[in-house]
Amino acid sequence: MTEDPPDEAVTLESFLDALQSEGRPVATAQQIARRLDRSQAAASEALDRLAAAGDVERLDVESDPVVWYPAEWGRLADRERVVLFPDRRELVVDQPSQYTRAQLSRVAHLVDTSGTKGYLYRIRREDVWAAPFDDLDDFLGTLRSVLPRRSPHLEEWIERQWTRARQFTLRTHEDGYTVLEAASESLMGNVARQKLDEEHLHAPISETESWVVEGSEAAIKRILYESGYPVVDERDLETGDPLDVELRTELRDYQRDWVDRFLDQRAGVFVGPSGSGKTVAAIGALVAVGGETLILVPSRELAGQWRTELLEHTTLDPADIGEYHGGEKEIRPVTIATYQVAGMDRHRALFDRREWGLIVYDEVHHIPSEVYRRSADLQSKHRLGLSATPVREDDRETDIYTLVGPPIGTDWDALFDAGYVQEPEVEIRYLPWANDEERNAYASAEPRAKHRIAAENPAKVDEVRHLLAEHPTSKALVFVDWLDHGREIAAAIDAPFVSGETPHHERDRLFASFRDGERRTLVVSRVGDEGIDLPNAELAVVASGLGGSRRQGAQRAGRTMRPAGSATVYVLATRGTSEEDFAQRQMRHLAEKGIRVTESGVE
C-alpha cells in the first residue's frame, strides 16, 4: 500500500464517509484508517489537523484511548445514509443522491417516499428477473455500489432468483415449430410437465425439450411465471411485410436506450411518466423493426392522436395509415385500432390475415382484462406496450409482462433532474363538511352511498374556486367522477364540462382550444384520465373520484407532467371519511416514483 501524504490522508468528507461505513457516530483512528485504506499514523495526523481546524472533535474514553466525531453533527445528519435490512430485502435511504436513486432504480422497487423513514426500496424477485443486465456480476456490482457493506445473505437470494429466471426457454426449431427447453431433466419433469398439460405441450422431443402446441405460448409463459420461473423467449418472431419508413425526429438518449433494449428483447413495455415521450420512442421502435404495424388503443380519440404523431415524426404517407374503430374502418400498412373493435369476432379475421411485424399496445394496463386480453394472442409478433402506470387493482399487472414483455424504463428522478419532465407538486387537502346537514347525511347514509356524499361535499366547490383564484394564469383541469358534481362545478367556475355524454366533435373542439391556449380551464370526467393529449396543464384539481384506482390517481396527476413550467396537483378529500384513505392510496403510486406528496388541512 502506498501511504498518502499526511495532510491528504483524511478529509472531512472522507471522515464522514468512514463513519457511515462503520455504522456508528464515532470512530477510532484505527477504524477510520481501515475504512479509508490508509495507515493509522497518516489517519491520526490528519485527524489532528481536522481537530485544529474545528471540523472534528476528540474524546478520551477508557475502553479506547481516543474516539473522533464531527464537530457539527448536522453535516452527518444531512448526508446520504443507506440502511439495509437483508432479511426483508429492504433498503431505507435518507437524503439519497441522484447517483444512488439511479442505481437503485435498476435493481429495486421504490415503495414509498412519503414517510418519515426516507426513501424505502424493496428488492422483489420480479426486479431481479427483469433487471437490465447481461450477467449477475453486473447486477451485484450495481447494488454494491450504493450499499454501506456487502450482504452475503441478500446476494445469495439474488443469485437464486437470477438463476430461476433462466431455467426455461422458448425457441424456434429448425423445422419451424416452437420448442420449450428446460435447463435440466428434473425441471422439465417436475415443473413444466406438472404445471402444463396437453393443451400446451405435445409429446416430448427429449428429456429436456417439449414440442409446444401452436398458440399456447402466452399461456405457457403465464403459468410458468406464476410458478416462479419466467420464460426466456428466443423464438424467431415474424417481421411482417416490409415498411418503407424513416424517422424524422432525433430521439433523446434514454429513448434510444429504450428502443435498443426493445430490439434486443423483441418484446417489452415502455414505462415512463406522462410527457417522457413514450409515443415517440414507440415510433422509433416501429421504424427500427421496419415491418407493417398494428397499434391498439383504448379510444378513437387516441387513434387520431397516433395518426398525427406518425405523420409528424416519420416519412409515412397519409395513405399508409389506417384507423379501425367505430368511426372509420380502414386497414393499411400501419393500422390504429381500438381494443374492443379489434377483439370482436366479426372484425378479428381482417387483422389476422395481415402479416404484422409489430403490435403496439398503448395504455397496456388494459391487456389483462378479459375484454382486451384476446388481442395478446398475437405472440408470434414483436410486442411493445406503453404505460405510465402499469398497475392494476386486481394485482394482475404481472400478466402485462408475461403477455407483452418485461418493463423497459428510466428512473423518473433522472427525467425530472434533466428537465425532460416537470415534477409536479402534489398536495392532498382535507376539507371539512360544508355544513351540519351534509355531515349528518353522510353519518346516516348506507355504506354504499357514503362515498358519493363525501365526493360531492359542497365545500369542494368553494375550494376549487379558491385554488383557481390562487393560480389565475394557470391552465387548469378539474377532475370529477360524478356527472352532477361536474355540472355543478362547471357552472360555479363558468367552464365547460367534458364527459362521456359530450359528442366526439365537441370534445375534440374543447380539447383543441385548451391545447392552443384559447381556453384556460376545463372540468373533465373520466374521459380525461387516459388516451387524451392535454399538454401543458399547469394545474390539476382532483375534486372527486377518489374511489378509483391507483393508476387513475397517477394518470390525473400525470396531466401536469410536461417538459417546462411549474405544475401543481391538488387532491381534495373530505375529512373524516373514506376519501382520506382513498387519496393516500391513489397518490402512493406517485410516491413510488420519487414524487413528494404533502398533506394539509383546510379550515
What's the total number of domains in the chain? 5
Confidence of residue 61 (pLDDT cuts 50, 70, 90): low
Q: Are residues 299 and 185 in the same domain?
A: no
Q: Are residues 158 and 264 in the same domain?
A: no
SS3 39: coil
Confidence of residue 62 (pLDDT cuts 50, 70, 90): low
pLDDT tens digit sequence for 385-431: 998 765 443 456 667 777 888 888 876 666 666 666 666 778 889 99
Q: Are residues 277 and 342 in the same domain?
A: yes
pLDDT tens digit sequence for 25-47: 778 888 888 888 888 888 888 88
**Does some domain include residue 296?**
yes
Q: Are residues 345 and 398 in the same domain?
A: yes
Mean pLDDT of the region 478-496: 91
**Does some domain include residue 595?**
yes
% of the chain residues with pLDDT over 70: 82
| 253 burial type by CB count under 10 A (0-12 exposed, 13-18 middle, 19+ buried) | exposed
**Does some domain include residue 178?**
yes
Q: Are residues 227 and 369 in the same domain?
A: no
Q: Are residues 150 and 194 in the same domain?
A: no
**Does some domain include residue 243?**
no
> CA of 61: how far to CAs of 51, 115, 410, in Å?
17, 37, 50
Select from 387, 412, 437 the last residue of a domain: 412
Q: Are residues 318 and 401 in the same domain?
A: yes
Q: Is the pLDDT of residue 378 over 90?
A: no
**Does some domain include residue 240?**
no
Task: Return the CATH number at 42.
Answer: 1.10.10.10
Select from 412, 439, 457 the last residue of a domain: 412
Strands 568-574 and 521-524: unpaired
Interhelix angle 278-289/300-313, nearest 10 degrees: 60
Select from 29, 54, 76 the last residue of a domain: 76
pTM beyond cutoff 0.85? no
Q: Are residues 367 and 426 in the same domain?
A: no
**Does some domain include residue 134?**
yes
**Does some domain include residue 245?**
no
Task: Return the CATH number at 182.
Answer: 3.30.780
Range of the domain at 22: 6-76
Q: Are residues 453 and 331 in the same domain?
A: no
DSSP annotation string for 333-370: SEEEEEHHHHHSHHHHHHHHTS--SEEEETTGGGTTST
Q: Are residues 497 and 588 in the same domain?
A: yes
Q: Are residues 273 and 381 in the same domain?
A: yes
Q: Are residues 557 and 480 in the same domain?
A: yes
Better-predicted residue by pLDDT, 436 or 399: 436
**Does some domain include residue 172?**
yes
